[in-house]
Amino acid sequence: MARWVQVVRLRLRSLVRGSDVDRDLDRELRSHIAQEIDEHLASGMTLEEARRTAMVEFGSVGGIQEACRDTRRVAVVENVVRDLRYAGRTLVRQPGLAVAGSLSIALGVGANLTIFSLANGLLLASPSGYRTDRLVHIRTGNGSHVSYPAWRALSESGALGGIAGYSIEASVNWRGGDASVTIMPLLVTANFFDVVGVPMQRGRGFTAREATAERDARLVVVSDRFWRRQLNGDPDVVGRSLTLNGSPYTVLGVLAAGIRSVPGYGLSPDVYLPISRTLAPDLEKPRAAAVQLIGRLHDGQSVQAGRAAVRVVVQRIAERGDDPEFRTITMFTRVGGLSQAKDFKEAGAFFLVLAVVTALVLAIACANVAGLLLARGTARRREIAMRIALGASRSRLLQQLLTDGFVLALIGAATGVALTALLAELLLRVSLPLPLPLEIRLAFDSRLAGLALGLVLLSTLMTSLMPALQSTRPTLVPTLKQGEPAYGPRRLSLRGLLVIGQVAVTALLLVAAAVFLRNLTRAQSLDPGFDTQRAVVARLTFVEGRQGTIDAPAIQAVVDRVRSLAGVDGAAFSEGVPLTVFSGSRVGTSMRLDGAERPVHVEYDANRVGPGYFGAMGIPLLRGRDFDGADRSSAPPVVILNKEFADRYFEGRDPIGLHLAWGERPGSRSAEIVGIVANGKYRTLGEGRDAAIYTPYLQEPVVGRMVHVVARTAAAPDTVSSAISHAIRQADSSAAVQIQPMSSALAFAFLPSRIGALIFGALGMLAGLLAMVGLSGVVSFSVGRRTVEFGIRMALGASRGSIVRLVLRQSAVLVGAGLGIGMMMAVLLVRPLSAFVVADLRPNDPLHLAAAAALILAVGVGASWGPVRRAVRVDPATALRTD
Amino acid sequence: MSKPSDLIQGTLDLLILKTLALGPQHGWAIGKRIQLVSGGVLQITQGSLYPALHRLEQQGWITSKWLTTESGREVKSYSLTKAGTKQLARELENWDRLSAAIGLVVREV
């Protein structure tokens, strides 16, 4: 025990008070010599002789001191401190290198951190709650949701400490002032706040006892954002009443600011409501998908034990005969971190592509800094050779040179973190054209800190390892004897190789950028199959239970009112509007078609539309007739197909007048085909040619809570918007109305291509800029070294043109090689991008390669411009005199 | 005459510890004593003695303090710690094993 105390005390002493220790040692050695002299004197030498003999026998005092210092094992630390100081001094003396180097790294690191923290915040971070390491996501059976009775059985089983359910797929109307607004609620089971323990800033969450679905409790907890933006941060909000779907709900509390919601993906629901039959009418149906599950493990219960306990309950529920597939647990994982869910994987893939791209940008940035350090290494050759000659070990020199890079990387990374934080602040302020309340909050946590540290080390190695090895090559010692070889053979330098790599990676990124930019223009000019310029879309959300306004004839009355407005050419209602968030549903089922021998599997987009829809949308009716007022529930069922459905499944027969029936067995629901309309895009711009079936809204037994009114305008859409909105509100004042021109309603559909074009365009430009700096550095360095050579050539009669050619040839070799490699990589690597772009756009289209190549050539010319000018200005007389 | 580099690795530590086991000594005296006892065969140069003393002190086997000798010289005197006594026993055991092993090999006929 005591021994360790002594050891630690001594190490600390040598570290903190190293000079004391040195003085002590000095004193000890002096004392030794003195005794040696005493001995020699005693044997009869003169004082002078004794002293000289003692000194000769003793040998090098410095060597002993150095050896003793090494035994203290603090030499490493001491050296590091010294190196850091030295690196700081050198960087201050070369501010150009310091600024350019750290800024390059800052951009690279910043890009990486931003992408990672986005992914971290949206995908990996745990939701906010009490001891979230005990929370698990549970999925069972086929889907992500379970029925309400299944949740009740699971929750009451006590298999886990608690199991709560939540549902994001709902909307409620909030009446604030004189208008209704649709807001996004999180419908939660009564025990949600008990199980998750979401932090609150005011009031409290509801408890399982007071908010059970059966009691239909009118309680609400609001988000910080909703409280600030819509309730003006009212300090007395707790106890206040909010009118939701026409009924008063008492505010119990406000959630803490900046929390992550349980559903994840940055979703930030406006209000949290206890789930009830009023809000979810199908609640008690045994197989309705009502809620997703989140559970809290018992204290001390492992994930495996929890899973086993839940499996028992799940099997019991399945055996009761509800759903045989219910028995398999498909997900039972701690919240946060990686997940096996399909939606998670898709989002993850996108971020993975981005991560690769940003890593490439960092590599380019590091190549630049490495180039700068290599250039400096050449300039410092004599200094380094001198130090080697004086006995510095190679590893000691490497340590010094790596420290230089480390300091650069550290400053760069710190700046990068600051840039990321700045961007995060900006992201919170801009509002994206999203239909859902999203809060993109970059997560600054230990994972991000770890990544930042890793990036610092990585960029240290990438920037300085190669230059350090190069400039401490043992063969450098001859440099001491002679100056730089001025007319050595021109072989490809290490910097040249770096630039080739940079150009290659830049070419790859520019091809990707070209793909996304072209995708954007292509998407915007893509014909969606309907008129986007002269139409207005109004989304109406009705209050549940007000059947007076929600049934189809009443909606028809609203449409008639709109149709009679001046400036409106036509109007109709429909359940969904293509390419918006509510675009109708996608169906895959078996169908029996007239004239076909056996049932076929069909996949189509379904939409329910009112009379006049095709006219109002500008979708051409190719054959047959449109729906009309006579197609009601009493009349024989009819459908209209798009051309793709007719071509694909009727195989050349004329479908008009034929029937189709849903399901495999006879006797199920069937309908007569009365018309065929043109194809279009339904869910995404990138989809191929999809089949579609339209059914008449007036024949549907159930009418949804949400309906769209589409109006075709004669004038600019904006001018009639308010008139249309007014007309709708007159019909039902409790309905929430969102009205916008069709072109802006489609903004959501363009969002992925816009974001892709923005990110890849920005990163491509950044890479191009960095590569230009790198190339320019190499060429101008070599022009500087060849000044004398140019002088001789000119003195011997070389024309300026030939000098220009000489310089350009060097750039051309570098750019050409880089471009060639880059294009080969691009051909191979951009193919996976087709998952993110419109269907008929091929990522490795020669056009993209050509565009990228043109940009790279421009970069090459731009980078060579300055050096070329300097080269032709060489005055032969001056140049020759310098040698 | 044998240089310390010819000594088997770690033997110097053993010699120093053994010497100090007889009582506290300063550096010069340790070197002299080893030379004397070995009949002049083992001469420890200062270049290895002081780093070794330093190392042993850093490892906590020995401690040091400044004393004044009868002749009025200031010397740094080293003494064995409790841990150092145990370490000496371990090293002696090692030495016995090693020398016996070497003896076996060398004297094999």
Q: Which residues of B touch A25 (CB under 8 A)?
A: 50, 54
**Which of A185-194, A233-242, A532-541, A839-848 has the least mean pLDDT?**
A839-848
Are A72 and B51 within 8 A, CB to CB? no
Binned at pLDDT 50, 70 and 90, residue A733 comes out as: low
Reduce the DSSP state of residue A445 to 3 states and report it: coil
Band (pLDDT 50/70/90 cuts) for residue A548 is very low
Sign of the dihedral defined by the CA atoms of residues A442, A448, A452, A454, in that order: negative
Is the CB of residue B78 less than 8 Å from the CB of residue B30? yes
Contacts of B76 in chain A (CB under 8 A): 24, 27-28, 31
pLDDT at A222: 92
Residue B50 has its nearest CB partner, among A7, A29, A72, at A29
User: H or E element: which one contains A577?
Assistant: none
Q: When comparing pLDDT for A247 and A346, which is higher?
A: A247
What mean pLDDT is predicted for residues A382-399?
Answer: 78
pLDDT of residue A765: 84
Would you call A421 an interface residue with chain B, using a CB distance cutoff of 8 Å? no
pLDDT, residue B2, reads: 40
- What is the DSSP code (8-state) at residue A438? B
Task: Tell me how far CA of residue A641 lies from CA of A10, A471, A671, A673, B92, in angstroms.
Answer: 88, 74, 11, 7, 98
Residue of B nearest to A37 (CA): B28
Separation CA A534–CA A523 (nearest Å): 19
Answer yes or no: is pLDDT of A179 > 50: yes
Alpha-carbon Rg for chain A, nearest whole angstrom, is 37
Mean pLDDT of A174-202: 85
A42-53 pLDDT, tens digit each: 888 888 888 888
Show the 3-state SS of A649-708: HHCCCCCCCCEEEECCCCCCCEEEEEEEECCCCCCCCCCCCCCEEEEEHHHCCCCCCEEE
Query: Do A282 and A213 touch, CB atoms closer than 8 A?
Result: no
Q: What is the pLDDT of residue A73?
A: 60
Q: What is the pLDDT of residue A287?
A: 64
Please compute the mean of the pLDDT values over residues A193-221 and round it to a whole number: 86
Residues 6+ apart with CB under 8 A from A106: A411, A412, A413, A415, A416, A419
Pairs of residues, one from chain A and one from chain B, whose beta carbons lie less than 8 Å apart: 74
A72-81, A679-688, A762-771, B25-34: range with lowest mean pLDDT: A72-81
pLDDT (average), residues A230-245: 87
Measure the CA–CA gap between A569 and A563, rounded to whole angstroms: 7
CB contact under 8 A, A73 and B54: no
pLDDT above 70 coverage of chain A, percent = 89
Average pLDDT over every residue of A301-312: 88
- Dump pLDDT digits (tens) for A329-384: 778 888 876 666 666 776 777 788 788 888 888 888 888 888 888 877 777 777 77
Per-residue H/E/C for A232-300? CCCCCCCCCEEEECCEEEEEEEEECCCCCCCCCCCECCCEEEECCCCCCCCCCCCCCCCEEEEEECCCC
Question: Distance (Å, rounded) from C-alpha A871 to C-alpha A783?
Answer: 6
Q: Which pLDDT value is given to residue A793?
A: 86
- Listed in order, strand segments (DSSP E) in A281-408 are 292-296, 329-334
Please tell me the predicted confidence (pLDDT) of residue A254. 92
Lowest mean pLDDT among A78-82, A396-400, A447-451: A78-82
A560 Cβ partners below 8 Å, 6+ apart?
Answer: none
Contacts of B101 (CB under 8 A, 6+ apart): none
Span of A3-17, A33-47, A371-385, A701-715 with lowest mean pLDDT? A3-17
Structure tokens at A31: 């004392």
The residue among A71, A72, A73, A74 with the most chain B CBs within 10 A of its CB, best to mutate, is A71
Tell me the C-alpha distance between A367 and A813, whole Å: 18
Least Cα separation, residue A1 to chain B (angstroms): 9
| pLDDT, averaged across chain A | 80
A94-108, A484-498, A715-729, A808-822, range with the lowest pLDDT = A484-498
Report whether pLDDT(A488) > 60: no
Q: What is the pLDDT of residues A22-66, one digit of tens each?
A: 788 888 888 888 888 888 888 888 888 888 888 887 777 777 777
Q: Specify the pLDDT at position B3.
A: 44
For residue B47, the chain A residues in CB contact (below 8 A) are 59-60, 63-64, 67
Task: Report residue A272's pLDDT band, with 50, 70 and 90 as the boundaries.
Answer: very high
Is the Cβ of A25 closer than 8 Å to some Cβ of chain B?
yes
The conformation of residue A636, written as its DSSP 8-state character, comes to P
Q: What confidence tier does A489 reach under pLDDT thresholds 50, 70, 90? A: very low
**Joined tokens for residue A813:** 């070799």
Which pLDDT value is given to residue A84?
A: 85
Q: What angle, 0 to 180 degrees and rounded to 10, lies between the N-to-C axes of helices A342-379 and A747-785?
A: 20
With cut-offs at 50, 70 and 90, classify the pLDDT of residue A15: low
User: Can you tell me the distance from the alpha carbon of A428 to that of A420, in angstroms, rounded to the nearest whole number?
Assistant: 12
B61 CB neighbours in chain A (<8 A) are: 3
pLDDT more than 90, % of chain A: 6
CA distance A692 to A351: 32
Write out chain B residues lying below 8 Å of A2, CB-based: 60, 81-83
The contacts of residue A854 (CB under 8 Å, 6+ apart) are none
Q: Is the pLDDT of residue B5 over 60?
A: no
Separation CA A722–CA A710 (nearest Å): 14
pLDDT beyond 60 at A737: yes
Predicted complex ipTM: 0.83
DSSP A121: I
Q: What is the pLDDT of residues A397-436, one digit of tens each?
A: 888 888 888 988 999 999 988 888 888 778 777 666 565 6
Contact by Cβ (8 Å): A456, A136: no
Distance of residue A371 Cα from the nearest chain B Cα, in angstroms:
43
Is the CB of residue B71 less than 8 Å away from at least one CB of chain A?
Answer: yes
Q: Which of B51, B63, B73 sits opposite A68 (nearest CB)?
A: B51
Q: Specify the residue for token string 């001025």.
A: A486
Dihedral of alpha carbons A312, A314, A315, A319, sign: positive
Burial of A239: CB neighbours in 10 Å, binned 0-12, 13-18, 19+ = exposed
The reported pLDDT for the residue numbered A777 is 78
Torsion angle in degrees (nearest 10) through CA of B25, B26, B29, B31: 110
- Shortest CA gap B61–chain A (Å): 8
Cross-chain Cβ contact B60/A71 below 8 Å: no
Mean pLDDT of chain B: 83
Local structure of residue A131 (DSSP, 8 states):
S
